[in-house]
Structure 1
Amino acid sequence: MPPHTYHAPLPIVTPQTMGRIDAAAIGSGIEGYRLMLIAGSAISACVLEYYSEAVGAIVLCGPGNNGGDGYVAARYLAEAGMPVLLYSSIEPERLKGDAGRARADWSGPVYPLEELDCMPGYVVVDALFGAGLDRPIEGLIEETIAAITASALPVVAADLPSGISGRTGQVQGTALQAEHTVTFAALKPGHLLLPGAGCSGETHLVDIGIPRRVIDEHNEAMWRNDPALWGADLPVTGAAGHKYTRGHLCVFSGSFSHTGAARLAAHSALRSGAGLVTVLSPSSAVAANASHLTAVMLRKVEDQSDLDELLVDQRLGGFVLGPGFGIGEKLRQFALSIVKAGRSCVLDADGISAFSDGPEMLFALCRENPLNTVLTPHDGEFARLFPDLHADAELSKVDRARKAAERANAVILYKGADTVIAGPDGRVVINNNAPPWLATAGSGDCLAGIVGALLVQQMPPFEAAAAAAFLHGEAGKRAGEGLIADDLPDAIPPLTHYQSDNRGRG
C-alpha cells in the first residue's frame, strides 16, 4: 500500500476557546448571522436526512446563539414542509443580536417550554444549551429532559446534547441522549470524553465558514487521534534494513503462574514491527515461557545484577515492565535502572501500581533524563499514582492527563473508551476508534507491547503512544466482536497502511 497524504488532523477546542474563535471570525469581517444560518441549515439537513418519515419536529430553543441556531433550523424545516412545534425556555423577546434576528425571521408560533407536548412520531431538535453549559441542570429544564427521555423520541442535538459539559464531557445532573449531534467548526472535548461521547450519538462536524487559519490561531494543542498526527513519524524499513535496525524490545515476564501478559505484549510488539523481542523471565517461569514462544526470544533475568548486565548492551532499545510482574521493590528498582540508563520504558499495570506509595523518585529520574518513558494507566491506576489530580472534580480527563505528564516528565496514555494521550509539552490527543469489545482481559498488555515496539523503532514517545492507541483500536475492529486478547496481536494492521508521505513537515 503506497504512502498516503493525510488531511489535517481535527483540532479539539474548549467551548471558551470556541467563543473566541467565533468572535475572531466575526471580527475579520464574516457576518455572525451568516454563520448562524449555515449552522441552522446543517441541523435541519440532519433532521431531514435521518428522520424524513417523522410526523414533525419539536424544536427546543434556549438562550443565546444555540437557541438562535434552533430558530433557523425550525424555519428551514418548515420551509421544507415538515410541521414544526417550537418551544422556548425564555421569553423570545429577550433574545438579542444574531439570535434575536433569527427569532424575528421565524414566522411561526413560539410556545413556552412549560407547555411541551412530546407527541408520538416527532423528532426533537435540542437547541437549549449546546456545549457551553458548565453548571447543573435543574428546574424546568430538568423536567423537560425527563419528559423527552420518557417519551423515547429521537433527539438531534445542536452542538452538544443539553446537560453535557463541552469542557469535561460530564453530565451536569441530567442530560439528553441524542442519536445525532451537529457541531460546528471544531470538535469539543465533550464530544469525545465519556459520558458525553455516549450521549452525543453520531457526531457530525460541519464547516460553517470559519477559516481554518482562525481555528489554528486559537490552537489548544489538542486533537482527535488520527494518522495525520503521526503517520510521518512511523518507522520505514529500507532495503538495507535488518532486524537490529528495527529495534530490540525486552518484555519482563512475571512468575510461573503469571506469564501470559508478557507473551501477549511480546507477540504484539513483533506484529508492530520490532525486529527482535525478548521475554525476560525469572528462572521459575523459564520453562512455562519456553513452551509457548517461537519467534520471541527468551532470556533469564532473576535479579538486579542480571538486568545490569543486560543494560550494557546498547542494542536493547526499550523495555516493557509491569504486565503480570507483581508489585514490589524488585519492580521499582528495575524501572529506576532502565530510566536512569536512558532506555525507552513502558510502565504498565503493576509497573504503575508499584509506585503508588511514592512516585517522586521515578518522576525525578524522568525529569533528569530525556523523554523516554510512557505510563499507561487505566483510571484506577491513575488514581494510585496521581491521587490529587484524580480527586479534583473540576479537572477533565484531558486536564488530569496534561498535569500528570508535566509532573512526571513522561507521556501519559490514560486508558479507557476515551483514551487520552498527553505529553509533558502540553500536547493532547483523544482516541475514539476503540470498539467496546476491546474491553477484555489482556487487551492492555497488547497495547503496551505496541507502544514498546514503536519506541524501539525510534518513534518519538508522544507519537508512539498516540499511534499505538489508534492501532490497538483498529486491531479490535479487525478482530471483531467477541475477541479475546489472544486474537489482537495478529489483527494489528501493518504500519505501512498509515505511513504518510508528508515527512519533514513543520
Structure 2
Amino acid sequence: MTELLTAAQMRAIEQAAIESGEVTGLELMERAGQGVVEAIFEEWPELAEPVDDGRGASPSRSPEYLEKDESPRRAVVLCGPGNNGGDGFVVARLLRERGWEVEVFLYGDPNTLPPDAKVNYERWREWGACLPLDIYAREDGLQCDVLIDALFGTGTARPLPELGDLFWNMRNMVECRDIEFGHKRGMPAIVAIDIPSGVCADSGRELPHEHEHNDFAGTAHLTVSFHRMKLGHHLAEGAQRSGRTVISAIGLPSVGPLAEYDWKSFVRLTQEAEGPEARKFQFEHKYSHGHALVLSGGHGKTGAARLAARGALRIGAGLVTVGSPRSAMFENAANLTAIMLQQIDGAHGVSELLEDERFNAVCLGPGLGRGADTQAVVMAVLKENRATVLDADALTRFELKPEALFELLHENCVLTPHGGEFARLFPDLAEKLNAPATTGPAYSKVDATREAAKRAGCVVLFKGPDTVIAAPDGRCSVNSAHYERSAPWLATAGSGDVLAGFITGLMARGFDPMQAAETAAYIHVECALNFGPGLIAEDLPEQIPAVFRKLGM
C-alpha cells in the first residue's frame, strides 16, 4: 500500500524538506517540470522523435535549422498564479530548449506570483512572451500538440466560473476527439500538472459554478503528480477527470518521519494483499482456517447468501455453513455442495448455533429480508461478539433508528453499505457529502467514511468504484477501481454479496477487520479484472485461484 496525500500534507512535506536544507523550492520546481516533460515523452514517445521523421524536434534541430517542409512540435502552457504555474513555466522552458514552439498564457498578474514561480516566469521570459489567459480564447488557440494545464493543480479552493469555457473545451477534446499530433485544427494531448484545475485535490469533487456548459473543472489525458498521488485522484469526479495518472519522484523524503502528522491521518491506497496478514493465506487444515456462518433469507431469497458463502469458502475459510430458515432448506440444499447447511429459525436458533465457538465469523444481510425478525437476528448475532459482517438488509432494517444498531456494534464488525444504505444509516453525513462543493478542500467520501466509522465504533467499507474503508481510530484506505484497474462490469447484481463473503472468509481466517476489508476489496476488483466484461456475480469467487497465483500465494 502507498499513502494518498491531502494538499495540506503535500505542502507540509515539501516545506519540511526545504526547512531542513535538503532541497530548495526552486530545485523542487525544476524537478517537477522535468518530471512532467519526461512523463509526456514516456506516454507519447513519438513526441521525442526528430522532426525530420515528421514526429517532433530534437535538441540538435532547433526551428531555425528545420527544412522548409518540416515544422516543430507545438505546446501551449496555461499557467496559474501560484506554484503550479511555476511548474508550467519550467515545462515551457524545457520544451523550448528541445526545439518546440511554445506559447505561454498566464492567469493573473505576474507581479503577484510566489517567489519561486516568479523566478521561473522571468527565466521563461528570456525565451518568449507570456500572454494574458483571456487571449487564449482566440480561434487558433487549440492548434498545438500538447496542452499543459498548470493553472491551479492542488491549489484549487474556489469555483472558477470565468474559466468555464476553457474547461468545457478541455473536456470536449478528451471525451469527443482522438489525439492527433500535428492536426491543423489542433487535437492535442492534454496534460495536467498535479491534478486537473478545478478538481479539489482532497475530495476529487468539482467545485461548481453557474456556467452554460455546466462543466466545472478541467480534464486531462495524462496527469503528472509528484511524490504521491492525492486523494482527489481516486475519489469522486477526480478519477474521471485525471485520465492516466503517473507519479514523478522529485526527491522528497517518505511520509513517515513527519512528526507533525499522526500516521492515522494518512489514507492508504490499497494496491495488493501484503504484509504479515498475507501469510495467513498459507494452507494447513480446514479447522485452523475458521468456520464462517452465512445467514440466508427465506424461500425465493436465498441466492445472495449462497453467493456470499461461496465467496467466503473460495477466499479461504476452512468451513462455511449457510444457516437457513425451514422454508428455504430444500432450495438451499439443491444448490450447495462443499458448503454445509444448517436449519436456523429466528434469533433463538442463531443464539443456539453460536454456542458452538468454532463459528468464528458471521455474515448477515444479503437476502435476509427487512422484517422484524431480521432485526432480532442481527441483535442476537452481535451479542455473541463474533467477527461479523453486516450488509444489505441487516443495515437497511435499522434505517428508522440507526442508533439502536450502533449501540450493539463492536470493534470486530465490518459494515459494507453502498450509497443508499450509507444515507439511511448516516443521513447527516450523506447530506454533507451530497451538498454542492462551494470551496476547497471540499467534504469528501474519506471524511464521511471516517466519521461513520467513529460513530459506529467499527470498520465501515463505503462501496463504489472509489471504495473507502475506515476504522474508528482514523485509519483509512481507498480501494480505487479506476485507471488500469477500472472494472465497470462489477456493477452487476450480487457482486456486493460476494464482497461481503470475501470479508467474512478472511475474518474467519484470523484477519483483523480493517485488513480483511482492505484485502477483500482489492481481491474483489482483481477477480473482476481477471474475468473481464460479461462478468456476473457467480464468476467472482471462481477467479480467486488465478488471482492467488498471480499474487504468489
Whole-angstrom distance in 2 between the partners of 1:495 and 1:49: 31
CA-based RMSD of the aligned residues comes to 1.8
Amino acid at match of 1:25: A
3-state SS in 1 of match to 2:408: helix
Amino acid at match of 2:101: P
3-state SS in 1 of match to 2:158: coil
1:337 and 2:380 correspond: yes
Give the 3 Å change call, closer, same or farther, for CA 57–215 of structure 1 in structure 2.
farther
Match of 1:221 among 266, 272, 281: 266
Whole-angstrom distance in 1 between the partners of 2:511 and 2:551: 14
Residue 144 of structure 1: aligned partner: 166
How far 1:226 sits from its partner (Å)? 2.6
Residue 234 of structure 1 contacts residue 499 of structure 1 at CA under 8 Å; is this kept in 2? no
Residue 205 of structure 2: aligned partner: 170
Q: Specify the structure having the higher radius of gyration (Cα).
A: 2
Whole-angstrom distance in 2 between the partners of 1:145 and 1:243: 57
Residue 143 of structure 2: aligned partner: 120
Match of 1:26 among 11, 14, 18: 18
Match of 1:469 among 521, 524, 527: 521
Q: What is the correspondence of 1:174-213 to structure 2 with a 5 Å cutoff? A: 174-213=216-255
Residue 418 of structure 2 contacts residue 463 of structure 2 at CA under 8 Å; is this kept in 1? yes
Give the 3 Å change call, closer, same or farther, for CA 132–214 of structure 1 in structure 2.
farther
How far 1:216 sits from its partner (Å)? 5.0
Amino acid at match of 1:111: L
Q: Which moved more, 1:242-251 or 1:148-157?
A: 148-157
Aligned residues: 486
Residue 426 of structure 1: aligned partner: 474
3-state SS in 2 of match to 1:21: helix
Amino acid at match of 2:169: A
1:157 and 2:172 correspond: no
Whole-angstrom distance in 2 between the partners of 1:238 and 1:455: 15
1:256 and 2:278 correspond: no
Gaps of 5+ in 1: 1-8, 501-506
Give the 3 Å change call, closer, same or farther, for CA 491–238 of structure 1 in structure 2.
closer
Whole-angstrom distance in 1 between the partners of 2:540 and 2:281: 23
Match of 2:429 among 389, 398, 404: 389
1:61 and 2:79 correspond: yes
With structure 1 as the length reference, what TM-score do the two structures score? 0.92
How far 1:111 sits from its partner (Å)? 1.3
Residue 362 of structure 2 contacts residue 388 of structure 2 at CA under 8 Å; is this kept in 1? yes
C-alpha distance after superposition, 1:417-463 (max 9, x if no partner): 00000001100000014511111111001100000000011110000
How far 1:154 sits from its partner (Å)? 2.7
Percent identity among equivalent residues? Answer: 43
Whole-angstrom distance in 2 between the partners of 1:86 and 1:130: 17
Give the 3 Å change call, closer, same or farther, for CA 495–149 of structure 1 in structure 2.
closer
How far 1:497 sits from its partner (Å)? 5.5
Match of 2:418 among 378, 381, 395: 378
3-state SS in 2 of match to 1:249: strand
Whole-angstrom distance in 1 between the partners of 2:256 and 2:84: 21
Amino acid at match of 1:135: R
Amino acid at match of 2:490: L
How far 1:308 sits from its partner (Å)? 1.5
Amino acid at match of 1:400: A
1:455 and 2:478 correspond: no
Whole-angstrom distance in 2 between the partners of 1:278 and 1:137: 56
1:48 and 2:41 correspond: yes
Whole-angstrom distance in 1 between the partners of 2:282 and 2:128: 67
Query: Structure with the greater relative contact order (CA < 8 A, sep ≥ 6): 1 or 2?
Result: 1
With structure 2 as the length reference, what TM-score do the two structures score? 0.85
Gaps of 5+ in 2: 48-54, 57-72, 178-187, 209-215, 436-441
Match of 2:155 among 113, 132, 140: 132
How far 1:215 sits from its partner (Å)? 6.6
How far 1:214 sits from its partner (Å)? 6.4
How far 1:122 sits from its partner (Å)? 2.5
Amino acid at match of 1:118: G
Q: Which moved more, 1:393-402 or 1:454-463?
A: 393-402
